[in-house]
Amino acid sequence: MAGLSEAKRFAHDWVDRNSQRLSDFDLEIWRYAEPAWREYRSAKAYVDLLRADGWEVEEGSGGMPTAFLASWGESGPVIGSYAEYDAVPGNSQQAVPYQAPREGLHPYAAGHTDPHSMLGVGALAGFLAAKAAMEQFGIAGRLRFFGEPAEKVCGSKPVHAAKGYFDDADAFISYHPLNANTTVWETHCGSYWSAVFTFECAEPETWINKGLSPKAHDDSAANPHSVARTPGAIDAIMLMYTLTKYTKEAMFPHTGTWTLNEFVLAAGDATSDNLPPRWSQIQYSWRAPTLAIQEQIYAVLENNARQAAGATGCRAHVQWVTKTRPGLANNALAALTFRNMELVGAPTYSEEAKAFAREIQKNVGIDPMDDPFPDAFEQLTAPHEYEEATRKLLPEWQKNFTSDDYTDYTWHAPTVRVFTGRPVLRTPYAGFEYPAWAYNAMGGVPEIVDPGMFLAGKTIAGTTLDLLTDPEELAKAKAEFEERTGGGVGGSMWLAPLLPNDFQPPIDLRWPEYVTTARGEEWWIPTPVPGASERIA
């Protein structure tokens, strides 16, 4: 790898020259705060920006309305990266140092947590800067920048992978704001699977008459209130919920780290109280380090759904939301990228950033600190050091940790995972936890977000230029990919996409979203009327 070449210096300067525009764009996405599969304004903002910059853009890639693929360049290696832009329901917050959900919406509307606004614009900055340098210095290469919706349900990247969008790439760069400035060495994310179980009480009359003689209930048709009611769809999801709580121990022994969470998407249809609810849906999402564990968890869930349906007079259906593969490391690319991060240097945070943080500390009842951010955010952490800290959390056998759908990129070309700091607040003592609104509020403050975001942009630009101008660096990364997969894509240790090529993205489900009514734009749960409810606890 060359040092700070003329092309890299140009790219770094490009980020600096465009910093205000990029910072404003980050805030635009942050304010949209659109949740998974419903990021219409966010996706359009990216598409419009990229087209104005000369990129060819495919909207709705992979059959996903809020996904896109932007391409630039005619020849040379194919380098890819991506933006995410979905927010999280229940995390509405203004960029102020006190708890304040956005006005005019339900208080539990969506808000950015990680924030994905910073993630997407950090990667975008890197690719826009690399493109500018390629044009300035005549560097050949093909850039592909994906718009990846629904990361919070790990939704889009497995779809793009299954439909062949990643097949001819030479390398990928994956960025995420986190708790350090580093790159991931060996312990990449594990897999994430999610499915929605639907219970439909389509023929409640068959429940009433099953096993009864014609004379068992005289005049029952004339007096429906005297007839035993079919349990129906509400009872079905309640049984599914409780059965799954009881059978968690059957899913996998208590070792390592895996999680299973549930979400009620819809329940009942506001029927009369003496009629059976006809329809309900519950989503399960589970994270695990191996595919064998994933299969075991699903087997129990499927059996639970079958039993719940049988007990309540319902039919059960399953619709997959996603299936991801565990991540595959590439040390050569991780090392190259960290060297580019070293060329940029650690970020620093202004007095304005620290003053905002101190106001939060004051408002949550602790003494404001001279330095409210942990030291790690103004340092670079070597990949081996970060790896060692991560491994302390895990049993020796476990090769992957937590989950994210970027892992599907890792099986199609060498992939690096880049972290830059998205500050949290220093804790006054062990065990203290700040409220979620405090973390979310900082995501909308440029002085707090921009330093890590621009470190990511410059690092990504430098790495991209190295991969295009130094054949040996790309060759090392590809050789390691070949070794780890047993021969590359299709090799003896390669994992194929877990979704079929004809998979239909789950855009038809009742995902939380913003809606337009006669009252204006609202969250899908209407804004509460002041004084309409009375607190009882």
One domain for residues 171 and 75: yes
pLDDT of residue 224: 58
Strands laid side by side in the 259-267 sheet: 259-267, 279-288, 191-200, 315-323
| Residue 513 lies inside a defined structural domain of this protein | no
Whether the predicted pLDDT of 216 surpasses 60: no
pLDDT of residue 220: 52
One domain for residues 353 and 319: no
Highest mean pLDDT pick, 115-119, 250-254, 274-278: 115-119
355-375 pLDDT, tens per residue? Answer: 999 999 999 999 999 999 999
The model's pTM: 0.95
List the CATH number of the domain containing 307: 3.30.70.360
Whether the predicted pLDDT of 198 surpasses 60: yes
> Do 123 and 173 meet the contact criterion of CB atoms below 8 Å apart?
yes
> Do 276 and 204 meet the contact criterion of CB atoms below 8 Å apart?
yes
> Do 503 and 162 meet the contact criterion of CB atoms below 8 Å apart?
yes
List the CATH number of the domain containing 48: 3.40.630.10
Average of per-residue pLDDT values in the chain: 94
**Please, which pLDDT band fits residue 222 given cuts at 50, 70 and 90?**
low
Split into its structural domains, the chain has a count of: 2
244-271 pLDDT, tens per residue? Answer: 999 988 887 677 778 999 999 998 776 6
**Please, which pLDDT band fits residue 287 given cuts at 50, 70 and 90?**
very high
Question: In angstroms, rounded to a whole number, what is the distance separating the alpha carbons of residues 266 and 281?
Answer: 5
Question: In angstroms, rounded to a whole number, what is the distance separating the alpha carbons of residues 441 and 365?
Answer: 17
One domain for residues 59 and 172: yes
Question: In angstroms, rounded to a whole number, what is the distance separating the alpha carbons of residues 332 and 111?
Answer: 36
One domain for residues 26 and 105: yes
Mean pLDDT of 49-54: 98
pLDDT of residue 225: 61
Tell me how far the alpha carbon of residue 485 is from its chain's centroid. Answer: 25
Tokens for 449, please give them: 């977000």
Question: In angstroms, rounded to a whole number, what is the distance separating the alpha carbons of residues 136 and 144?
Answer: 19
pLDDT more than 70, % of the chain: 95
One domain for residues 99 and 139: yes
| Residue 533 lies inside a defined structural domain of this protein | no
Residue 108, Cβ density class (10 Å: 0-12 exposed, 13-18 middle, ≥19 buried) = middle
Q: What angle, rounded to 10 degrees, do the helices at 19-32 and 6-17 form?
A: 60
The sign of the CA dihedral 148, 343, 15, 30 is: positive
One domain for residues 235 and 136: no
Residue ending a domain, among 296, 323, 350, is 323
Question: In angstroms, rounded to a whole number, what is the distance separating the alpha carbons of residues 506 and 321?
Answer: 6
As a whole number of Å, the CA-based R_g of the chain is: 25
| Residue 216 lies inside a defined structural domain of this protein | no
Whether the predicted pLDDT of 62 surpasses 60: yes
Whether the predicted pLDDT of 86 surpasses 90: yes
| Residue 496 lies inside a defined structural domain of this protein | no
One domain for residues 343 and 466: yes
Q: What is the DSSP string of 37-93?
A: T--HHHHHHHHHHHHHTT-EEEETGGG-TT-EEEEE-SSS-EEEEEEE--BEET---
Whether the predicted pLDDT of 226 surpasses 90: no
pLDDT of residue 271: 66
| Residue 508 lies inside a defined structural domain of this protein | no
Residue 1, Cβ density class (10 Å: 0-12 exposed, 13-18 middle, ≥19 buried) = middle
| Residue 397 lies inside a defined structural domain of this protein | yes
pLDDT of residue 210: 54
One domain for residues 153 and 232: no
Q: Within 13 A of 439's CA, how many CA atoms are on the CB side?
A: 17
Whether the predicted pLDDT of 272 surpasses 80: no
Whether the predicted pLDDT of 274 surpasses 80: no
Residue ending a domain, among 293, 323, 353, is 323
| Residue 158 lies inside a defined structural domain of this protein | yes
pLDDT of residue 2: 59
Omega cis (within 30) before 115: yes
Q: What angle, rounded to 10 degrees, do the helices at 471-485 and 331-344 form?
A: 140
> Which of these ranges, 213-217, 282-286, 322-326, 393-397, has the smallest mean pLDDT?
213-217
Residue ending a domain, among 323, 342, 360, is 323
Tokens for 180, please give them: 């350090």
Whether the predicted pLDDT of 384 surpasses 80: yes
One domain for residues 180 and 112: yes
One domain for residues 457 and 310: no
> Angle at Cα 28 formed by Cα 27 and Cα 34, nearest 5°?
110
Mean pLDDT of 506-527: 93
289-308 pLDDT, tens per residue? Answer: 999 999 999 999 999 999 99
Question: Residue 422: which domain range?
Answer: 6-190+326-485
**Please, which pLDDT band fits residue 337 given cuts at 50, 70 and 90?**
very high
pLDDT of residue 219: 54
pLDDT of residue 336: 98
One domain for residues 360 and 406: yes
Whether the predicted pLDDT of 209 surpasses 70: no
One domain for residues 314 and 332: no
| Residue 40 lies inside a defined structural domain of this protein | yes
